[in-house]
Amino acid sequence: MAQSKIKCRQYSVEYLNYGYVPSPTNAQLPMCLLCEKVFSNEALKPSCLQEHLIKMHPEKADKVPFFQALKDKHGRRTISSLFSRKTSQSDSGLLASYNISLLIVKCGQPFTIREKLVLPAIKEVISTVMERDPTQVLKSLPLSNDTVARRINEMGADTEEQLCVILRDSYFSIQLDETTTSDNNALLMAYVRYRASNSKEMAEDFLFSKYLETDTKGQTIFNALHAYLEAKSIPISNILACTTDGVPSMLGRYRGFTALLKEQVPHVLAVHCVLHRHNLVAKSKSPALRDSLNIAVKAINKIKAHALNRLFRQLCQENDETFERLLLHTDIRWLSKGNCLARFCELFDSIVEFLMQVDADLGEKVMSSRCDIMYLADFLKRMNEVTLKLHGNGINLVQCKAVIHSLTSRLDLYRQSMGRRQSAHFPRLTKMILNFRNITK
């Protein structure tokens, strides 16, 4: 059977309306005047050309005089055009420098990684994969320590300015959190939620962070926020709602931050953070459960201390355990208790065996608190699932209320089940009870 002939399309003058001219290397191929991209002959159709123009260069659509002038300029290739080509390559190196600096700061790496990893990796790829001399490319990439720091500061300032431009003309809600850093300095952080421009969806962004130089009183926090909004020309009346934690400096009736904010913005809605409130409730435990948790934490700290950690790791390898290390409990991390006890339960038998050799009294306490520890691990796992549902982008009060209402309903179910001595909702506790019954039989 004879093969079908491939149709070869011809260039038409009308294609200049879409910003295309014949390619200098092949007159049968169209080339975009804006991005100088050469397409195949099959794309030489008005529909394909118009689609590329609308998607990639919508601001230049229907600008025939502009394309005519650009065509004339493109046809006059002189020495100056060569220099402009050189400048374009330099701009590409500058753009790559900004992008690489952004990647460095996103990864949280020191700026010296440029000499240790970034440039050697680029050099290796160009010389090995592309088989080219990387000298010119590396020269066009300014990535010194000071340059990377300057790029990051410029991008941060530009992003902040873009956000402030939006907040000047739109209403927004703000969330404030005051915390203490590792060097004992008070840090105030502010987050905003607003309606994105030309969109019906809500957007969330980090607004600023400031050190509180004197104290953390409500007046100091309000002054810090007010000074920032004034410096950025953002009207304080644009604040619709404010979310804070439950400390007195925030929620004080007379001199708290919310009271001072309501003096300036009477219509503002002050909300106690639902996630913070949920965490406070989760800390309330009976004395017996609190003692059992303290025993588990004490056992973890005992094993993680110094050389005992290596001995415990060897014991886990001998017992063919899934994990070989315990997780430390950090009180400021909301998911810490559940994750810590979950790992503790996975290695419970090895922990008891190890403690009986190192500290028999502590091992006996852990063994006697086994039921409480298993129950806490299951219960805190449920609480962690709720915690994860309460935070994230786009979460609002209606959704938080639904999550909390679902939790309270399940708590009633758990209470009734435990009253009937049914532990089906607590798998670790159920497994421990079944194992104990099998041993006693």
Identify whether residues 116 and 47 lie together within a single domain.
no
Residues 262-301 have pLDDT tens digits of 888 888 888 877 777 766 666 677 788 888 888 888 888 8
The structure's pTM equals 0.60
Residues paired with residue 241 on neighbouring β-strands, in sequence order:
173, 269
Select from 75, 101, 122 the last residue of a domain: 75
Identify whether residues 298 and 204 lie together within a single domain.
no
Identify whether residues 146 and 210 lie together within a single domain.
no
What are 23's two structure tokens? 């390619």
Identify whether residues 222 and 249 lie together within a single domain.
yes
pLDDT of residue 78: 42
90 domain-assigned: yes
Cα 189 from Cα 178, distance rounded (Å): 6
157 domain-assigned: no
Select from 272, 305, 331 the last residue of a domain: 272
172 versus 396: which is more confidently predicted? Answer: 172
**pLDDT above 60: residue 99:** yes
158 domain-assigned: no
281 domain-assigned: no
Identify whether residues 365 and 420 lie together within a single domain.
yes
Q: In what order do the strands lie in the sheet with 269-272?
A: 202-212, 186-195, 172-180, 239-244, 269-272
Inter-residue contact 282 to 184 (CB < 8 Å): no
Which stretch of 18-22, 64-68, 295-299 has the lowest confidence by average pLDDT?
A: 64-68
Identify whether residues 318 and 360 lie together within a single domain.
yes
Identify whether residues 372 and 260 lie together within a single domain.
no
> What 3 state SS string does 242-277 have?
EEECCCHHHHCCCCCHHHHHHHHCCCCEEEECHHHH
pLDDT of residue 6: 55
What are 209's two structure tokens? 């962070």
Amino acid identity of residue 87, one-letter, is T
Identify whether residues 371 and 313 lie together within a single domain.
yes
27 confidence band (pLDDT: 50, 70, 90): low
Helix axes 336-346, 287-304, angle to 10 degrees: 70
Ramachandran region of residue 69, left (φ > 0), alpha (ψ -120 to 50) or beta? alpha
Q: Chain-wide mean pLDDT for the chain?
A: 78
365 domain-assigned: yes
Per-residue pLDDT averaged across 116-131, rounded? 82
Give the domain CATH number at 264. Answer: 3.30.420
DSSP state of 44: -
Identify whether residues 225 and 309 lie together within a single domain.
no
Identify whether residues 134 and 259 lie together within a single domain.
no
136 versus 193: which is more confidently predicted? Answer: 193
Identify whether residues 372 and 422 lie together within a single domain.
yes
**pLDDT above 80: residue 340:** yes
Per-residue pLDDT averaged across 119-133, rounded? 82
Quote the domain boundaries for residue 339.
287-440
Identify whether residues 304 and 433 lie together within a single domain.
yes
Select from 103, 125, 151 the last residue of a domain: 151
Cα 231 from Cα 210, distance rounded (Å): 14
Torsion of CA 120, 123, 128, 132, to 10 degrees: -170
Ramachandran region of residue 411, left (φ > 0), alpha (ψ -120 to 50) or beta? alpha
CB atoms within 10 A of CB 16: 16
Q: What is the DSSP string of 72-114?
A: HHHH---HHHHHHHHHHHHHHHHHHHHHHHHHHHHHT--TTHI
113 versus 265: which is more confidently predicted? Answer: 265
Query: Domain count of the chain?
Result: 4
Q: What is the DSSP string of 315-378?
A: HHHHTT-S---PPPP-TTSTTHHHHHHHHHHHTHHHHHHHHHHH-HHHHHHHHHTHHHHHHHHH
Per-residue pLDDT averaged across 398-425, rounded? 83
3-state secondary structure of 172: strand
84 confidence band (pLDDT: 50, 70, 90): very low
Strands 20-22 and 202-212: unpaired
115 domain-assigned: yes
Most confident of 30-34, 95-99, 205-209, 398-402: 205-209
430 confidence band (pLDDT: 50, 70, 90): confident
80 domain-assigned: no
Most confident of 42-51, 268-277, 358-367: 358-367
**pLDDT above 70: residue 184:** yes
Most confident of 82-91, 155-164, 176-185, 283-292: 155-164
160 domain-assigned: no
CB atoms within 10 A of CB 138: 15
